[in-house]
Amino acid sequence: GLNMKVLLHLILLVSCITQWTDAASPSATARRFKTKIDEGQSHWNDIGREELKAALDVQLNTNVAKNVILFLGDGMSIATITAARIYKGQKEGKGGEEGKLAFEDFPHAGLSKTYCVDTQVADSASTATAFLTGVKTNYHSVGVDKNVLNKDCSTFNEESKVHSVVQWAQDAGKKTGVVTSTRITHATPSAAYAHTPEREWECDSHIKRDIGDDYLTECSEVKDIARQLIEDEPGASINVLMGGGLQAFQLPSHQVRWDDDWNCERLDGKDLIDEFITKKTEAGKTKAVVTNMTDLMNVDDSTEYLLGLFWNTHLPYEHVKEEEELDIPTLAEMTEKAITMLQKGDNGFFLLVEGGRIDHAHHDGTAKRALDEAVAMDKAVEAALKLTNEEDTLIVVTADHAHAMSFNGYPDRGSEIVGLGTMADDDLPLTTLMYNTGPGFNYTTNADGEVVRWNLTDTTVTDFEHLQQGEVYMEWSNHGGEDVAIYAKGPMSYLFHSLHEQNYIAHAMAYAACIGADTDVGSHCPEKEVLKNGGFQPETGSSPWTIAGSLVGALFGVIIIAGVLSMIIKKY
């Protein structure tokens, strides 16, 4: 009857305005997430006026940053940010293009030049050294200057070491923390505390692998990265450490799991977990060592030192944690715990949070995973925003380098970002996201000798494991050399405003917090006394000697004034 016809028309209408495309599109299985907003003239004029008003309302925050949080999206290129923004929106059933990641609402932004001293396209060790120590260095180097050559221990010495913002923060009496989804000894986190001519020397067996049987003699001055974290400063004084990489800290006989793909093992007979516990106990410090989410949540926030190692190598991808219900914290959960613990200090803190598996997913050519990891880091940023105050906390979000993923093909608005986009000139569909290099290279020749590419029509391109097509075969997709974005909010965040050398990030963060060696550049910071390694400590003026000096000075002032008055009275 009539009611049935009306119902059918409504069903047809809804199907036209929601998520699914028609048969005229590149593929009848391509999902669409159309916006339901009327995007006429008034819509865009309203958006323009709102953005203009927001820009005019921005006030420069010149406060001293008591706390600094650096979020580092490893391999988070601008293309990755754009695609992740859309992916996030589409997970919420929206078109995606009109949305924002949490950090894209920050009031200040700039660009970072990521090249290192000896290569145009850098790796994560050299870039981390730049943005954490303020000094650019060579490819694969950690915490040393350009004079140290790769895997050459003879060029390594004390003068070549460069110290990080973690050291400067500790010198100023601040608490410090490092959180990562990679191994805690991996490239980015290691630059916060280690010094080595090779980023892969995370355990001593890898030094032997590269140097040979004489490694103990030839590299006697170079400890593996795991040892440096537990035994040397500033690693030994980092209050909160969370990530993966348990395998580098324990003897093989103590391992619950073993990762054959990462065959890093201890040859020196040391159990660095036991060493960590012993050192903190002897120093009378409260400490906790945890290997799962359940135990992490039971750690008291007042605990002075936390070591959380939740997997033998890198932590599983976020979607794997969820799908397999693993007892492993998300990046956001680790960030929340780190902040609540570090906030127990009176002098503030510095915290590094790395979304490290964005990079690994890109290397594997699995774009959906990379976007999912980027959104996971965005959730960690949201957590930090809820727990901190922009009046005293500087939050910086950036990347170490770009990646070879491209965003292309003229897809329709609302096209599923991880799905098929348009038809190519070879009459085969292509995905919106592709890689210039990588394992997704899949070309062959037909019977006529013509080069043809992979036909994606019957392929489930939206799986996490799907390999995006690559132009040139590489076992791993390469890094990209283009500039990456910097977003900032909080005290002195306006210092990130233009195109910057990547090492500038360390200088700007330190200046904002009045630590490090640049506090005399402007009038932002109160007077300081110089400490070791370029750090500075505010003068409290509360010591007995300071008070006595002030009283003596005041007494002399009174005597001088009395003398002058006496002379004036006698004269007149």
Whether residue 195 is annotated as binding a ligand: the answer is no
Strands 484-489 and 108-113: antiparallel
**Is 354 labelled as part of a ligand binding site?**
yes
Q: Is 180 left (phi over 0), alpha (psi -120 to 50) or beta?
A: beta
User: Annotated binding residue at 319?
Assistant: no
Which are the contacts of 302, defined by CB distance < 8 A and separation ≥ 6? 286, 341, 344
Torsion sign, CA atoms 406, 411, 412, 417: negative
Cα 35 versus chain centre, distance: 32
Cβ within 8 Å of residue 365, ≥6 positions away: 435, 438, 439, 440, 467, 468, 470, 477
Q: Is 186 annotated as a binding residue?
A: yes
Torsion of CA 98, 362, 358, 323, to 10 degrees: 90
Collect all residues with Cβ–Cβ distance below 8 Å to 16 and sequence separation of at least 6. none
25 is catalytic: no
3 state SS for 24-92: CCCCCCCEECCCCCCCCHHHHHHHHHHHHHHHHCCCCCCCCCCEEEEEEECCCCHHHHHHHHHHHHHHC
Count Cβ neighbours within 10 Å for each residue of 82-116 and write b for 16 or more, e otherwise: bbbbbbbbbeeebbbbeeebbbbebbbbbbbbbbb
CA distance 168 to 320: 37
Residue 363 marked as a ligand binder: yes
Non-local (6+) Cβ contacts of 540 within 8 A are 546
Residue 83: closest CA among 65, 96, 102: 96
The answer to whether 286 is annotated as binding is: no
The residues near 265 (Cβ < 8 Å, ≥ 6 apart) are 203, 205, 247, 248, 251, 252
Q: d(Cα 566, Cα 572) in Å, to the nearest integer?
A: 10
Q: Is 524 annotated as a binding residue?
A: no
Q: Name, in order, each residue with C-beta under 8 angstroms of 357's C-beta and a sequence gap of 6 or more.
A: 74, 181, 182, 314, 315, 317, 318, 369, 373
Q: How far is CA 255 from CA 203, 245, 249, 252, 270, in A?
A: 15, 12, 10, 5, 13
Give the whole-angstrom CA distance, residue 97 versus residue 86: 5
Residue tagged active-site, from 27, 77, 112, 124: 124
Instruction: Judge contact between 396 and 68, C-beta under 8 A.
Output: yes
The Cα 338–Cα 24 span in angstroms is 51
Contact 124, 104 (CB under 8 A): no
List the binding residues for Mg(2+).
74, 186, 188, 354
Binding-site entries: 74, 186, 188, 354, 359, 363, 400-401, 479
Give the residue ranges of the annotated binding site for Zn(2+).
74, 359, 363, 400-401, 479
Catalytic residues, which ones?
124
